[in-house]
Amino acid sequence: MRGFILAAGFGKRMGIFTQNCPKPLLEIDGIKLLDYSLYLLKNWKVNEIITNTHYLSKQIEEYFANFPSLRVHISYEQSILGTGGGIFTGINRYWASSNSSDDEFVVINPDTVLFPKSNFLPQFPENQHDSLSHLYLKATPYNANYTNLFWKDGNVYFEYLKDSIPCYYIGLSLFKIHAFDLLDQKSNENFELGSLWRHLSKEGKLTGEFFQEDAIDIGEKKLFDEILVQKDFFKGKKQEIKYFLSSIERNL
């Protein structure tokens, strides 16, 4: 499987934390957000990665240069392209002419720190062959300020259906590359994934499932402040993550 890390942004929502550091390189207990994204992708057998960049992009490029054993493509955005435009531009740059038979890729957002079970593997549902994108979701808490989606019988919708469950997207999804063929978009055009997902939902090609473990949002300064005072944030996995990083740094 291949992977896409969303690492482009304006560097504004985190205040002083990102004054001289792009958000994906912020640290929690000595572990960078990108460190943890790579650790998860390694566990999911991802063998090739695209990451988009914008704000302080050179720092992210230098970060990946420390890991010569990783197959990483940097998709720099001179102007922010949005989540959809960023992914579409990146896959056109690096995978459009690929001879790989692997049509699927996983998208991860370092803003949400996920704690999946050891046997968790992102994959399309076997009984939903028409799915072109698969989302990982949480049920919407009461009075939460999330963009509501609605889940019913494995499908995801943007409007309430009888007996559907209100939910929100946690920043982890799967795509088939040709899902983007359904939109009249070009590389280097700004658009959000929401426009693609709405289209797929109407066509019955957007599926989802509930993520059963913790998914911790750190995308705002207040949330990050709260997390920095926590002890053992990575639940005993800090040394395992550091060993993984040292192994790829040594090119083992």
Express each pLDDT in 182-212 by its tens digit: 888 889 999 999 999 999 999 999 999 999 9
Number of domains in the chain: 1
Span 106-116, mean pLDDT? 97
d(CA 252, CA 244): 10
Q: Which helix (H) or strand (E) holds 53?
A: strand 48-53
Span 76-94, mean pLDDT? 97
Q: Which two tokens stand for residue 179?
A: 């899902």
Helices (H), the chain: 33-43, 57-65, 82-94, 193-202, 221-228, 238-249
Q: How high is the pLDDT of residue 102? A: 73
Strands 112-114 and 215-217: antiparallel
Q: How high is the pLDDT of residue 252? A: 39
Q: How high is the pLDDT of residue 243? A: 95
pLDDT level of residue 58 (50, 70, 90 thresholds): very high
* 88: Cβ contacts below 8 Å, ≥ 6 apart: 81, 180, 185, 187, 189, 191
Q: Which two tokens stand for residue 92?
A: 């056109």
Residue 180 has pLDDT above 60, yes or no: yes
Greatest Cα-to-Cα distance within the chain, rounded to the nearest angstrom: 54
pLDDT tens digit string along 119-147? 999 999 998 889 999 999 999 987 777 77
Q: Which two tokens stand for residue 181?
A: 């063929």
pLDDT level of residue 148 (50, 70, 90 thresholds): confident
Q: Residues 189, 87: contact at Cβ < 8 Å?
A: no
| Residue 210 lies in domain | 2-249
Give the residues across from 112 on adjacent strands: 217
Q: Which two tokens stand for residue 102?
A: 């692997």
Assign residue 23 the CATH number of its domain: 3.90.550.10
